[in-house]
Amino acid sequence: MLTVDFQRFRVTPGDRILDMGCGAGRHAFELYRRGAHVVAFDLDADELAGVETMFGAMRLEGEVPEGATAETVQGDALALPFPDDHFDKIIASEVLEHIPDDMRAMRELLRVLKPGGRLAVTVPSWLPERVCWALSEDYHTAPGGHVRIYTRAELEAKFKSIGFKVGGHHHAHGLHAPYWWIKCAVGVNDDGNPLAKAYHQILVWDIMKRPLATRLAERALNPVIGKSVVVYFAKPSVPSAPAAPAKETADAV
């Protein structure tokens, strides 16, 4: 289930791309299939082990173009272990809402992205997330859980304040918000609840089959209750020039 729209976020074979906070690797796998040189980065060693196994299986099955590469790197988003201006593109999907010092993480993304490079950021949308927080304290107080709810305006303003340019946005996963509302209402850890199980089965069926009816329904729901908001940014090719110092006048002290 991809959140980033690869029609908007074009990947060229040979691009060096960081999937920062890759989790189980869904975007990293798609980048690999498209011929990129992928670095799947995460703090969780267990998640990365699963991603590495999947990379190997994809190679064995011939699912990736010749020349594409993929590796996993464990580390902290606040101190990325990469040189300046290293990546052509970066994806940071559903990660910033977990990081208390999000501005420091954003500055690290700016540092390792090449001038002219593009960044795709996804976070939970404000309204669906606010409903989840209202329904369940466990949803957002569990260790490693969400520490903030972004508005799109706040997310864009933070990235703009450190030098990024905004390049459009959209919402995704409108059918998934009701599932999480149900989970929060019945208990986020109650996987046996009949209503939650039934809705989950519908989501799995939709992901596997992608029927026209649910695609149209999600397209209509996304702007209203899309579970995620996706914002695209670009790092300017030329850094902004510092402001010129004020000219001295005869009255200057």
> pLDDT at position 33, please?
98
Rounded to 5°, angle at Cα 167 from 165 and 169: 130
Strands across the sheet containing 228-234: 69-74, 37-42, 16-20, 87-93, 113-124, 228-234, 165-172
CB atoms near residue 191 (< 10 Å):
11
For residues 28 and 90, the answer to whether their CB atoms sit within 8 Å is no
Strand 37-42 and strand 228-234: the pairing is unpaired
For residues 121 and 155, the answer to whether their CB atoms sit within 8 Å is yes
> pLDDT at position 253, please?
27
Residue position matching structure tokens 């703090």: 43
Q: How far apart are the first and last CA of the chain?
A: 64
> pLDDT at position 1, please?
87
Phi, psi of 207 (to 5 degrees): -65, -40
Instruction: Determine the distance from the C-alpha atom of residue 24 to the mean position of all C-alpha atoms in its chain, rounded to a whole number.
Output: 12
pLDDT in tens, the chain (253 residues): 899 999 999 999 999 999 999 999 999 999 999 999 999 999 999 999 999 999 999 999 999 999 999 999 999 999 999 999 999 999 999 999 999 999 999 999 999 999 999 999 999 999 999 999 999 999 988 888 899 999 999 999 999 999 999 999 999 999 999 999 999 999 998 888 999 999 999 999 999 999 999 999 999 999 999 999 999 999 999 755 444 444 433 333 2
CA–CA gap between residue 103 and residue 101 (Å, rounded): 6
Strand 69-74 and strand 165-172: the pairing is unpaired
CA–CA gap between residue 192 and residue 71 (Å, rounded): 36
For residues 37 and 16, the answer to whether their CB atoms sit within 8 Å is yes
CA–CA gap between residue 86 and residue 167 (Å, rounded): 21
For residues 64 and 32, the answer to whether their CB atoms sit within 8 Å is yes
For residues 71 and 49, the answer to whether their CB atoms sit within 8 Å is no
Tokens coding 23: 């989790």
User: Which of 199, 203, 205 minimizes the C-alpha distance to 184?
Assistant: 199
CA–CA gap between residue 129 and residue 139 (Å, rounded): 10
> pLDDT at position 248, please?
38
